[in-house]
Structure 1
């Protein structure tokens, strides 16, 4: 460190002013013969004595003349004599190309600055920068409190200083390319790119290397003496790997001799013969370390052992395995592919051979073999405009989810769905879509396949609309016609009955064609009139016929294969409008300024002849002779055609209510703020004038709202206006017939549903950190759907590792309930089936460093907790302690983990896991 600093500002300013006046009023070099110019070493021409020096005369050119390559010997163009006088200064000027350059000249400019002062030591050719000195050369940027530049040796020396309190000011920091190094004392040579530092800290991505001495031998290679390797950014790190010697290659790797870990400065007596630390960013092949687990049903486990292989920049493969001491194992193969701006996808092939300790005395172990196939593929829309392809395949054995440990959400997931879709669009009128769908119920073991499904759509065409016209459009110009055609195939079977013969026996196909014809008429005042005609035809591959078997007292069903069709046509005229009403009489001091009610009624008249009656029949369903109406095409893909003549009105009313409230914080728009009280509520129904009975259709009721911008409510119900008999069957009498009209006599609620959800959380303690977290989440949002699902599953299984201490508390609640009246499977009557549950998720900071959270689902019908998990997390700066517990459910478990926060050291953790399989 330099000790020649002038700390007295008053004396220093007087001295600088005196020197400045002296320079202006006198020739300070008048008594000296040799002038010591500072720039001699940079610009002085070094005479080469090995070659003769030509004398400069008249018109002689210093640049050696070469034969003109453009003029051949046979060229007859005469040489023109130069007529410019010999004293022409342009001709006599020496060509700067041949000017010798000083041997110590740098190949790029050096820029430097300081906030206090700069001292030039001319005889020694040194420059010293004081206070916030900075030097930039090429891609090197050096900052320090004091920097000394020696021009003769091209050596830079940077140091810091301490204030009166002993605090360090201006610690040297050098940034070059992708590496950053901070030191107590730093010496660096511009020309050789070599340097030597003391007390250095260099950062390579997430890794920090602390060295007593660090030697830089070129732009990328470093040697460290008595070094520490860590991800903790404190001056005294909480943990580190200590090595006597280490070599680092910037952004690639670090190699050391024998190393040992230490915590809080205390060495751990575990020595490793050598260390290899990858510093490269991005993908690279390597082993995937396992973690140990223990389960009473599976035994001791080694989970996650595998290998990650990078094939090329577009393709990589992950191979993992789980091994258990009772003999069970799991194999996972996950290839991933991606090509930017074209497509990306991932496949996950899993095989489980589960050997679980039996809970009965008949056998010691239960062995189950299951599999799972997952495939996700997405094509970038910019790759082939007009064409799209996507796949989301999720096929597995019905018992696969039961043997997934530490994932209660998967254990209770009884349905799996898959879809593959291809779409091709020609212009803006024609579209072809091909899909394949799969669904299965793991509880019942039923698998449904729909493939292939084809859909061809023709957008509305206006055949009477001229391509070019002038003046007002005619009414028939808006007459449009379209086409919607679909073809579907369906196969249903039980997993244990899977066979080719079973698939062919249960396969059925169907097709549906719809030709809508519509006319857009000009608006008539506040009313919009829309007439239309629609023709629909369905094709079926089989017919079902039910017959009563009095001997066995049951219904028998027979199936006839073939090609069957049913057609349907309808005519309609619709009218819709909107009405507004406002009430603003709340007074000046009321927080509510006004309330507005919007009503949107719709009425449509339609007529549909009875073209489907021939596809229905009456059949006895019990020994009492009771009859039920059935269709020959019941259970088909597109359903049976509608029966009966309809000539009536379809009507409905939609409402929403908004309010304007006075806001003290927001003064925009006069301090008024618009809020929605009820987003929408209303009903729809119809009345058939030509039907002989049941003219009034059930009412469909609905309501949706967001109260206080926090509570989301959605509800719906079906209101049947007809009475029922003792067996629950509908009668032709209205509920209010023969009774005094009241709301309880309007009708019967046959099915309904309601869902309420809300979430609350406190404000972030550090808003800047919260914004950085949101930005990181947005960047993760650019991941593929399968990567997002994988991360979501891991977060659900290990919530403690993702605790956000910046948010003191958060809470989310949801409630859902639905019920319906369904026909019993034996046709003996009706029954009501209902479901209701409450889900919750929340956490809070017990202390600034401790967080507790929990989530679960409670089934109200069974009065039981379906699943419940809780966690405790401890913030330890660069480490994190997490405890996850699931005491309820099929797979109960607890997990205790201490791991570094750094992603590069995620697998370096202490883990204790135990499972309790039910």
Structure 2
């Protein structure tokens, strides 16, 4: 008797079809969406169910039949329970996973076709093939996946025209490669590529064969690296062996450069190239220089150290063959959204050739301290702290060889400020600073200065408004208190006694009282009152010494105070006038004139006449009036009683012009003829003499939106004697007509013409904003040094997007001042013109010049010329200064990349003029 089950063609066909369907679905599982519920149990059943268990389902099929027909047999139930328990174990998949299986699904796709080889377990994808595994993304024309070895092979195809189609591209993490062929193992994450291009930061790397040993490390055979992004770069460095640590560094064996494919017979035993983005520590290479005064030297040799995310430090040194040296320590700190700053501590020991024939060298030691700090306004709303310090030895700038421009800077300034605001009602500001002159060697230190301000408050104003406010409720009172402290001394003779002797301090209180009255139609009336009080730490007296024929001055340290009060009543309005009768065919449609007159009545009692004295100043008996508070920090109040009128007449002139092309209303545009012009003055009814003040004229305009004009002049309405002193007689009396004498004036005219630039203003503005937000704060001297470097080396900053540009500016100024010996007045005139421009000789060559001519000295003060060459990834700059306080010549060839910015050829010569 046969106990086996019955075989049916129907059931046998169904089983075979099911087995085939499962097999195909298993091999094609990568095409489906990643689903942990799908592929894990399926793979586990396939890998863990032995072949012998294939007969078990057959017995299971027959057992239920026997169980149905012979339910009384207990052994059958036991057998069924045992089989059921076995199947339950298989259904729960409590089996071990094969070590050869992947720990993540592989997704793949292709636009053409996919070929599945069941026997070899290989899948081949054609045309725009793509494979993804974890963070790996592989794209190529043809990709072949070998499930047995877990290896993928990617290649390209050559079309009928000979072009490469579907060149493999490998992307994993920060690795990005383009190659002719790629072989990669999913399990070991190792691979080999041929003819591979990859970009590491600013560096473009090529290798005939590159081996990937893990996620970050690569080894290249016959490599080439450059910063030129062309397929055939202008320059490159070649090496036989190289190791790359992704986005960190590249280390190579012997390397040599090549230009335009031509090798240069210069070999370097090894190469080390940092590829990491952002800050990283390293050596700062020097620059060779030759200076007639300092000798041969290495400038800029140093080391940069990153101490933390918020702090770094740079040490640089300049060393010269004559024995001089200079050290710079520059720590930098930054805390995002809080503050940022930088310091520069410099010490130099100078040894230069001497002009004295009795000695060979001049030796000196000096130091300089610079500190710039800025707090983010969002860190503490209402509180701000800023610092800009530049202090040190007065002779420091004179002996700096790396930047001859600052050799002629005689002033150093420092400023540290702190301010606190309380609900826009009270404001406290504290300041400290200093200034020093390199010629006189005088140093003034201000510590501390400050002010306390109470914004206008309205004591008569109701807490809750009901209807319109009354006129008296607009009475406002404020307070502005300022205090200053200053010490002056010479650095060559500094002592504590000198500091105490020169100590000055002063305080000034000002209480303004204002009242805004309702307007009377087009007229606005504004009364006001102001009280000011000043505290002084000392005063002085002057007396004529007939024995020596000079004025003797004596100082007295004593607390004293002076007060002043003033009342005013102002009236202002505006008058409009338009002339539009130009005819239908005229382009000028209308001219509009706006006049804004303002007249105020003022009264000031004479509270400070007691502080003024008369002193003889020469042997002829001429006398002048002076205040004993002259030269103090806040200065004296004016003497005499004033009761008079002051006036201001401001004007504005505009024109409407119709476009030639657009005859509609939209074609009419406004043209500003004169932005503003007018005159100011005053008349004192209560003065004994010189009742009329000087007239101050002013004008400002932008003609044709191109020419900027600003001008001002001061006219004295009184006559003078032979020595230039004023006499109480109007200039227009005694025949003839004249408004008076011009005592001072200035005019400045500037314009610029620029061709169309290809880069949009929005892009330029965005770049400038990004640079401004990322830049560290700088002192005024550092900003000026950068501007001077740009001005003296324009070839390095040539903009080839602007084909040509021309800038013109002219200035003229004059003033009359009293001579030091009181013998009369003299006039000082200065006049100069500045012309600069550049234009492209070709799309890759640019030439430009900048010149400054002084008309008063009838000489060309400075002339700078430059020639720049665009070399794609390199730049060539030639700067020549044949005329100026110092003459110089330099030629520089260097890559544009910031990574290789120190790889430059530079030749600089300075020629100092005595």
Q: TM-score, normalised by structure 2?
A: 0.87
Match of 2:814 among 805, 815, 819: 819
Q: CA deviation at 1:292?
A: 0.7
Once the two structures are superposed, residues 387-445 of structure 1 have per-residue CA deviations (whole angstroms, 9 ceiling, x without a partner) of: 11111112243333333346454233332222111111222211111111322333443
Once the two structures are superposed, residues 140-172 of structure 1 have per-residue CA deviations (whole angstroms, 9 ceiling, x without a partner) of: 333334444445544333333344443334332
CA contact (8 A) 1:38 1:125 kept: no
Task: Indicate the residue corresponding to 2:904 in structure 1.
Answer: 909
Match of 1:143 among 130, 139, 143: 139
Unaligned runs of 5+ in 1: 1-26, 58-91
Task: Indicate the residue corresponding to 2:795 in structure 1.
Answer: 800
Indicate how the Cα distance of structure 1 residues 273 and 407 shifts in structure 2: closer, same or farther if over 3 A, else same.
closer
> Within 5 A, what are the aligned runs for 1:116-135?
117-123=112-118, 126-135=122-131
Match of 1:262 among 258, 261, 266: 258
Indicate how the Cα distance of structure 1 residues 756 and 109 shifts in structure 2: closer, same or farther if over 3 A, else same.
farther
Task: Indicate the residue corresponding to 1:784 in structure 2.
Answer: 776
Task: Indicate the residue corresponding to 2:742 in structure 1.
Answer: 749
CA contact (8 A) 2:112 2:128 kept: no
Indicate how the Cα distance of structure 1 residues 34 and 473 shifts in structure 2: closer, same or farther if over 3 A, else same.
closer
Indicate how the Cα distance of structure 1 residues 202 and 111 shifts in structure 2: closer, same or farther if over 3 A, else same.
same
Q: CA deviation at 1:99?
A: 8.9
Task: Indicate the residue corresponding to 2:830 in structure 1.
Answer: 835
CA contact (8 A) 1:406 1:915 kept: no
Match of 2:373 among 358, 373, 377: 377
> Within 5 A, what are the aligned runs for 1:87-126?
107-108=103-104, 112-114=108-110, 117-123=112-118, 126=122
> Which moves more between the two structures, 748-757 or 835-844?
835-844
> Within 5 A, what are the aligned runs for 1:357-436?
357-405=353-401, 407=403, 409-436=405-432
Match of 1:234 among 214, 230, 249: 230
Aligned length: 853
Is it true that 1:655 corresponds to 2:659 in the alignment? no
Q: CA deviation at 1:481?
A: 0.6
Once the two structures are superposed, residues 864-900 of structure 1 have per-residue CA deviations (whole angstroms, 9 ceiling, x without a partner) of: 3333322222222222222222223343222222211
Match of 1:189 among 185, 192, 212: 185
The DSSP-based 3-state class of the residue aligned with 1:914 is strand
> Which moves more between the two structures, 442-451 or 390-399?
442-451
CA contact (8 A) 2:790 2:797 kept: yes
Task: Indicate the residue corresponding to 1:857 in structure 2.
Answer: 852
Is it true that 1:503 corresponds to 2:495 in the alignment? no
Indicate how the Cα distance of structure 1 residues 95 and 834 shifts in structure 2: closer, same or farther if over 3 A, else same.
farther
CA contact (8 A) 2:679 2:697 kept: yes
The DSSP-based 3-state class of the residue aligned with 1:200 is strand
Give the Cα separation in 1 of the matches to 2:905 and 2:735. 74
Is it true that 1:352 corresponds to 2:338 in the alignment? no
Q: CA deviation at 1:516?
A: 0.7
Task: Indicate the residue corresponding to 1:466 in structure 2.
Answer: 462
Task: Indicate the residue corresponding to 1:321 in structure 2.
Answer: 317
Give the Cα separation in 2 of the matches to 1:156 and 1:679. 74
Give the Cα separation in 2 of the matches to 1:758 and 1:372. 39
The DSSP-based 3-state class of the residue aligned with 1:904 is helix
CA contact (8 A) 2:47 2:97 kept: no
Give the Cα separation in 2 of the matches to 1:174 and 1:315. 37
CA contact (8 A) 2:221 2:240 kept: yes
The DSSP-based 3-state class of the residue aligned with 1:248 is strand
Task: Indicate the residue corresponding to 2:755 in structure 1.
Answer: 762
Task: Indicate the residue corresponding to 2:872 in structure 1.
Answer: 877
Q: CA deviation at 1:573?
A: 1.1
Give the Cα separation in 2 of the matches to 1:357 and 1:796. 28
Q: CA deviation at 1:729?
A: 0.6
> Which moves more between the two structures, 40-49 or 375-384?
40-49
Give the Cα separation in 2 of the matches to 1:105 and 1:47. 9
Is it true that 1:40 corresponds to 2:26 in the alignment? yes
CA contact (8 A) 1:538 1:567 kept: yes
Indicate how the Cα distance of structure 1 residues 876 and 731 shifts in structure 2: closer, same or farther if over 3 A, else same.
same
CA contact (8 A) 2:243 2:252 kept: yes
CA contact (8 A) 1:408 1:889 kept: no
Higher helix proportion, which one?
A: 2
Once the two structures are superposed, residues 538-576 of structure 1 have per-residue CA deviations (whole angstroms, 9 ceiling, x without a partner) of: 111111111111111111111111011111001111122
Q: CA deviation at 1:242?
A: 1.6
CA contact (8 A) 2:428 2:450 kept: yes
> Which moves more between the two structures, 335-344 or 844-853?
844-853
Match of 1:887 among 879, 882, 889: 882
Task: Indicate the residue corresponding to 1:174 in structure 2.
Answer: 170
Give the Cα separation in 1 of the matches to 2:490 and 2:663. 65
Unaligned runs of 5+ in 2: 1-12, 30-38, 61-87
Q: CA deviation at 1:505?
A: 1.6
Q: CA deviation at 1:365?
A: 2.2
> Within 5 A, what are the aligned runs for 1:218-297?
218-297=214-293
Give the Cα separation in 1 of the matches to 2:484 and 2:370. 24
> Which moves more between the two structures, 495-504 or 126-135?
126-135
The DSSP-based 3-state class of the residue aligned with 2:247 is coil
Root mean square deviation of aligned Cα: 3.1
> Within 5 A, what are the aligned runs for 1:595-610?
595-610=591-606
CA contact (8 A) 2:192 2:212 kept: yes
